[in-house]
Amino acid sequence: MSALIAAGALAGWAGRHLLSRLRRGTAVPPGWCETGVSLAWALVALRQPPGWWLPIPLALGWLAVVLSACDLRVHRLPDALTLPAYPVAAGLLTVVAAHRPGVALGSVAGLVLLGGTYFVVRLISPPAMGAGDVKLAGVLGAVVGAVSVPAVAGVVAAAAAFTLVGASWRRAGAVAHGPAVLVPSWLVTLSWP
């Protein structure tokens, strides 16, 4: 477990430095990403998922921390992180599908449900949903759908609730929605199998 915590700190450090170098990234205070990824990976280690599932909560934990840090700082989810998440998730889910039948169908359904929901919200009310959130939603839906298609609805409900709480607490200005959808998505991956 200590090796995974140390690896998480290193991965968080790399994520923080990557964010500072991206064209649409931001500078994040030292320790934010290192601590966040270490904690996420420690929880994964405590859960002890099988080797074929392990990369999913590790990768999503890293992505959740790094994107949340950026969204909280500058209300932006960089394409340089959200778009490459699609082929990475597809590769990891292909491995999972070899061990669990039905994962591919669940992933596609999740992608359509979460990605489609966010896309429709963006079409109806562009100020209510950022373009980065829409781009991220499909990959999160694919990963959550691999666990359980009904869990996608739970993630949507949790994300909406967290965003509403954040908006009522903040009272004015934009609210970072990325963390509100990333955290429940990661928790779903942590709880399975």
pLDDT of residue 24: 86
Q: Tell me the per-residue pLDDT of 140-186, one tens digit each, with 9 for 90 and over.
A: 999 999 999 999 999 999 999 998 888 887 766 678 899 999 999 99
Q: Tell me the per-residue pLDDT of 58-116, one tens digit each, with 9 for 90 and over.
A: 999 999 999 999 999 999 999 999 999 999 999 999 999 999 999 999 999 999 999 99
Distance CA 7, CA 177 (A): 28
pLDDT of residue 172: 62
For the chain, give the mean pLDDT: 94
Distance CA 116, CA 137 (A): 8
* pTM of full prediction above 0.85: yes
Q: Can you give the length of the chain in residues?
A: 193
45 CB neighbour count, 10 Å cutoff? 18
pLDDT of residue 168: 82
Residue 28 has pLDDT above 80, yes or no: yes
Distance CA 52, CA 92 (A): 8
Residue 130 has pLDDT above 70, yes or no: yes
Element (H, E) at 6: helix 2-21
pLDDT of residue 159: 95
Rounded mean pLDDT of 35-49? Answer: 97
Residue 4, both tokens: 């995974």
